Amino acid sequence: QSVLTQPPSVSAAPGQKVTISCSGSSSNIGNNYVSWYQQLPGTAPKLLIYDNNERPSGIPDRFSGSRSGTSATLGIAGLQTGDEADYYCGTWDNILSVEVFGGGTKLTVL
Amino acid sequence: QVQLVESGGGLVKPGGSLRLSCAASGFTFSDYYMSWIRQAPGKGLEWVSYISVTGSTIYYADSVKGRFTISRDNAKNSLYLQMNSLRAEDTAVYYCATSAETGTRNDYWGQGTLVTVSS
């Protein structure tokens, strides 16, 4: 059971937009920055979004992030088949003193 | 460019030990906090441990506390994970990653090394 809760799967058609939610609590998302990672099949995770809504160099602006209260959301616009991957949210938990991840969401581009 | 290369994984019997290494290059290793994160086959990400730039601050997941030891050698640009009393549930791909001081993000990841605990 993950500390952060994500939907197991989402799907949408090419060109559409999808959002992935990440729910936590005041000890993690509510008081810390959230990051998002993309893991393409058979590869290591890659940082997609950090500090709730910042994109590392090289990440297209189709990817966006936001945080409200104890939840965070990843948005992916203009979906491409190459976006099919597992997506994870992550942050620090102040009570547990551990880094926590969501269980992951598998994105299918139909 | 930034490169993290893990090594030391393999097959080990329950109760055995293994030492993972992570060789860093392309950045100033001594400026970065570092973490080990694992992923069991077909499962999600699980954070394992985190170490500060000097090694003075260390955190562990409860699942490995008392069995695993994280360390670093800044002179050798290397991160380590000593794993003792291994269990079947420790079977996973182990990734090393650079970390923010706050523990809220991991910028760069290695390709991972597979640890299999089985008799």
- Partnered with residue A5 across adjacent β-strands are A23
Predicted confidence band at B118 (pLDDT cuts at 50, 70, 90)? very high
User: Which is nearest to B97 in space by CA: B85, B82, B89, B109?
Assistant: B109
Q: What pLDDT is stored for residue B102 in this prediction?
A: 87
User: Which is nearest to B106 in space by CA: B38, B18, B26, B20?
Assistant: B38
Question: Per-residue pLDDT tens for A24-51?
Answer: 999 999 999 999 999 999 999 999 999 9
Which whole number is the average pLDDT over A49-64?
Answer: 96
Report how many Cβ contacts below 8 Å link chain A to chain B.
69
Q: Is A83 helix (H, G, I), strand (E, B) or coil?
A: helix
Contacts (Cβ under 8 Å, ≥6 apart) of A55: A48, A49, A61, A63, A64
Predicted confidence band at B101 (pLDDT cuts at 50, 70, 90)? confident
Q: Which of B44, B59, B102 sits opposite A98 (nearest CB)?
A: B59
Query: At CB < 8 Å, which residues of chain A contact B?
Result: 2, 32-35, 37, 43-47, 50-51, 56, 86, 88, 90-92, 97-104
Question: Per-residue pLDDT tens for A73-86?
Answer: 999 999 999 999 99
pLDDT at residue A2 greater than cutoff 90: no
Would you state the structure tokens that stand for residue A74, as one six-digit string?
């990843």
Checking phi first, is residue B29 left (phi over 0); if not, alpha (psi -120 to 50) or beta? alpha
Q: What pLDDT is stored for residue B41 in this prediction?
A: 96
Residues of A within 8 A of B107 (CB-CB) are 47, 50, 56
pLDDT at residue B16 greater than cutoff 90: yes
In DSSP notation, chain B reads: --EEEEE--EEE-TT--EEEEEEEESS-GGG-EEEEEEE-TT--EEEEEEE-SSS--EEE-TTTTTTEEEEEEGGGTEEEEEE-S--GGG-EEEEEEEE-TTSS----B---EEEEE--
For β-strands B113-117 and B10-12, DSSP reports them as parallel
Q: What pLDDT is stored for residue A1 in this prediction?
A: 80
pLDDT at residue B26 greater than cutoff 90: yes
Residues of A within 8 A of B37 (CB-CB) are 99
Residues of A within 8 A of B32 (CB-CB) are none
The letter for the amino acid at B51 is I
Which whole number is the average pLDDT over B41-54?
Answer: 96
Output the CA torsion sign for A35, A72, A42, A57.
negative
